[in-house]
Amino acid sequence: MLFVLAFVLSSFLLGGRASAGGQWCEEDPEFLVNGGIVDISTFFAADIETVQGPVTFDLHVPRNATAAALRLPGTVPVTATISRDLPSWYGVGWMPVFVTVNVRATTSFDTTTTITGTQGRLASAIGGRSNASTYVQFAMIGTNLQLQQP
């Protein structure tokens, strides 16, 4: 009992930053593309103070696609843009889509970006680095996503 009390008190008195390194951050915007929800998550372990400016997500879709950013939650500020700069898609085969993610920071650290649809299917898990663009190309039909190698 005395050990438990000592542990609880030390947790409160010695609170603050953990000495194990940076904090895990997840930036997790959701987009609606032609009626299907696309959830793009970027994870990294870094001190929040090292991240400069917002984490940016630029989603590229066909010219005739319907797309909107639905939610922009995150540990740090997040921005999302939609660029309709891919060739028009007329519903034959997989619709090409890609996203570019940028995490600007004063230090260099690893990032991981994943993409899922409404079915919760993992479409990709791509490693990246802060201060460099992470490019993820994928394709979708409705809510089904498929990773395509760039």
Q: How far apart are CA 56 and CA 53, in angstroms?
A: 9
Please give the pLDDT value at position 128.
96
Q: What is the pLDDT of residue 106?
A: 96
3-class DSSP assignment, residue 105 = strand
Alpha-carbon span 112 to 124, nearest angstrom: 10
Q: Which two tokens stand for residue 35?
A: 């009626």
Per-residue model confidence as pLDDT tens digits over 47-95: 889 999 899 999 999 999 999 999 998 889 999 999 999 999 887 778 8
Q: Where are the domains of the chain?
A: 24-147
Average pLDDT of every residue of the chain: 79
The pLDDT assigned to 67 comes to 93
Q: Are 136 and 113 in contact, with CB atoms under 8 Å apart?
A: yes
Residue 116 binned pLDDT confidence (cut-offs 50, 70, 90): confident
